[in-house]
Structure 1
Amino acid sequence: MMLCDIAKSPLASGHRFDQGRHWAASLDLRFAQRDGVTRMVQARHQGPLRVQRPFYPEGRSEACHVYVLHPPGGLVSGDALTISAHVAGGAHALLTTPAANKLYKADSQGVAWTQHTRLSVEDGATLEWLPQETIAFDGSKGEQRTHIELHGSARCLGWEVMALGRPASDLPYVSGRIEQHFRLTLDGKPLWLERQPLDPLHPRFAGRWGQGGATVQATLWAVGIEDAPAAIEALREALPDNARWAVTIRHGVLLLRYLGNSRNEAWALCEQAWQLLRPLWIERDAHTPRIWLT
C-alpha cells in the first residue's frame, strides 16, 4: 500500500489521517437524592472519559464531589468530547477535574476538535461546575459549547478559565481559532446567551474593544443567590482592586469576568469568589476539592 493510500483510508482501529478523523468520547452522569444522600445513580461512558468514585468531604448529607477524568489530558484534531450531567431535585453535586485541559495544535489537515458540555439541574437541585483551567496551544482549532438547563428553583454556579498559548515557553497563541458558545436557560427561557470567537487574526483579538491582547480570560456565573446586589458588593470589597475583573447581574445571573495575562491570578480570583459566594448562595462554607491541592 502506498503512503497516499494510507492517508485516504481508515486504519483497522478506525483512526484516520484525513478530514474524516473523528474520535468520540462521552460521559453521562446522573445524580439523585436517596435517603438524604446525593448519590451518583448513573455514570455511562464511551471512550476515554471516566469518573472516580464519589467523595463526601463535607459529610454524607452534603455535596457529592466527583472528579471527571480524561486520561489523554487534552484534545487533538478529530476529538469529540461530550459531557452531560443531570441533577435531580434535592440533590447537590460538585464536579471538577484533576488537571488542566489542553487544546493541542491542529494537525496538517487542520481538523478541528469539539467539546460539548450539557448541564441539567431540576427544581430544588444544586450543581457546582468547577473544572480546572483550559490551556489552548498555538494553532488549536475547535469549538466549545456549554448548555446549562435550569428548572424552577434550581441553583448553579460554575466557571470557565481559558489561557491562550504558553507565554512562559515563549509560545504565544498566534494562529488557530476557538469558538465558544454559552447558553443558560431557566424553564426553557434564555437568561444568558453568548458566542465568542478566539481568533488571533481577527481585529477584536488585539483591539481594545475586544480581547485587547489579553492571554487569559475567565467567566464565573451563579444562579440562585437570594440577595445578588449584596453579593456583588461583598465581591467588590473582598477581591483585588484592579481593572482586570468586573461583576454584574443580568436576568438573575451573576457574572464575574476576568481579562488579563495570568492564569494564577484568574484562578485565584474565581476560587476566592466561590469561597465568598457559597455561604451567601447555599449557606455552606466552601470546601476545596482535595484534587486541587495535589
Structure 2
Amino acid sequence: MPAAQRVAGLGRLLCGKSGGRTRLRRLYQDGSAKIRLPAVQGDPLEAVLINTAGGLTGGDRLGWTIEVGADASACITTQACEKVYRAAADRAETSVGLRVAPGGRIAWLPQETIVFNRAAFARRLDVELARDAEALVLEATLFGRLAMGERAVDGSFHDRWRVHQDGTLIHAEDFRVGPDIAATLQRRAAAGGALAIATLLLVSPQAENLLEPARAIVGDPGIGGWGGASFLSVGRSGKLLARLCASDGYQLRERLVPLVELLNGRAGLPKLWSL
C-alpha cells in the first residue's frame, strides 16, 4: 500500500513598529499553514493562523514562527480549535517559536486543541524574550467533547514549554499523559477528573499587580472547575502562572475568557474568540 499523504505546513510572520503602529514586515506560508491579518485600527497587530488540512493525525507536521520587533505588539490566535484525530501510526507534531525584541509584546492566544481518542500528539513551544519584552502565552486542551459523546480514553499527549528572557531560562514545563489518558486525568495529582485544562503564562513587570484579580477569576466558587495562580519575580520582570481545570470546554471558557481579558489589558480578546 502506498504511504498516506501527510500534512506539512510552515508559517512565519515578522512585524515591527513603523509610523507609530505595528505593521507587517515579512510573511511566509507553506503547505497547509496559512496566516491572515484582520483589519485593526491600531496596536496590537492581529494575526490568525489557519491549518487548511482541518486537523492533525499521525505523521503530520505543523510549524509557526512569530517575530515581534522593538516596541511592536502582536496578538496571535487561530481560526478555530485545532483537532488532533486518531493516529494509525507515528504522531502529529506542532512546533511554535516566538521571539520578541526589546520593548515588544506578544499575546499567543490560540483557541483550544481538541484531542480525540487514540490520538498521538506532541507540541513544542519555545519563547525568546528580550530583557524588557512582555508575553502572554496560552494553551488550552480538551480531551474529548462531552456534548458529542466523545472522550479521549487512550492515546498520547506531550506539551513542552521553554521560555527564555535575556538569555536566561525563566519557565520550563513538560506535561505528558498516555497511553491511558482517561485514568491518568482522573488522578487528583493530575487533573482530578477534568477533561478541559488550560495554562496561561504572563511575563510582564505588571504581572504581580494582576495576581489577586487573576486568583479571583480562577477560584470563583460560582463558576465550574478549579485551578490556581501564582507569581514569581524573574530578573527585572515577573511571571504570573495560572492553571484552569474544568469538566468540559464550556465551563473552561467561563473562566478562561475573563482571565484572558484581564491579562491581555486593553487588547482584550481576539475578535475571533467572540464569534
The answer to whether the Cα contact below 8 Å between 1:161 and 1:267 also exists between their aligned partners in 2 is no
Which residue of 79, 88, 102 maps to 2:69? Answer: 88
> How many Å apart are 1:239 and its aligned residue?
5.0
Identity of aligned residues (%): 26
Write out per-residue CA displacement over residues 126-172 of structure 1, whole angstroms, 9 at most, x where no aligned residue: 11111111100001002101111111100111211100022223221
Amino acid at match of 1:32: G
Listed as ranges, the gaps of 5+ residues in structure 1 are 1-5, 8-15, 280-284
After the TM superposition, which parts of structure 1 deviate over 6 Å for at least 4 consecutive aligned residues? none
Structure-1 residue corresponding to 2:216: 237
Amino acid at match of 1:70: N
Structure-2 residue corresponding to 1:33: 17
Amino acid at match of 1:131: P
Amino acid at match of 2:198: A
Rounded to whole Å, the distance in 2 between the matches of 1:240 and 1:213 is 17
Amino acid at match of 2:258: Q
Change (3 A) 1:238 1:266: closer
1:156 paired with 2:140, answer no
1:65 paired with 2:54, answer no
Structure-2 residue corresponding to 1:116: 95
Rounded to whole Å, the distance in 1 between the matches of 2:16 and 2:244 is 34
For 1:12-51, list aligned pairs within 5 A.
16-17=3-4, 22-51=6-35
Amino acid at match of 1:197: R
Which residue of 259, 264, 271 maps to 2:257? Answer: 271
The answer to whether the Cα contact below 8 Å between 1:137 and 1:173 also exists between their aligned partners in 2 is yes
For 1:116-265, list aligned pairs within 5 A.
116-201=95-180, 204-226=184-206, 228-238=207-217, 241-242=220-221, 244-250=226-232, 251=234, 252-265=238-251
Rounded to whole Å, the distance in 2 between the matches of 1:286 and 1:87 is 16
Write out per-residue CA displacement over residues 86-126 of structure 1, whole angstroms, 9 at most, x where no aligned residue: 0010111111112111001102xx22110001111111101
Rounded to whole Å, the distance in 1 between the matches of 2:67 and 2:102 is 12
Change (3 A) 1:207 1:220: same
Amino acid at match of 1:38: T
The structure with the greater share of residues assigned to strand is 2
Structure-2 residue corresponding to 1:102: 83
Change (3 A) 1:70 1:95: same
Change (3 A) 1:258 1:65: same
> How many Å apart are 1:286 and its aligned residue?
3.5
Q: In terms of mean alpha carbon deviation, does 258-267 or 117-126 score higher?
A: 258-267
3-state SS of paired residue (1:115): strand
Aligned residues: 267
Q: In terms of mean alpha carbon deviation, does 205-214 or 153-162 score higher?
A: 205-214
> How many Å apart are 1:233 and its aligned residue?
1.1
Amino acid at match of 1:37: R
The answer to whether the Cα contact below 8 Å between 1:182 and 1:193 also exists between their aligned partners in 2 is yes
Normalising by structure 1, report the TM-score.
0.85
3-state SS of paired residue (1:74): coil
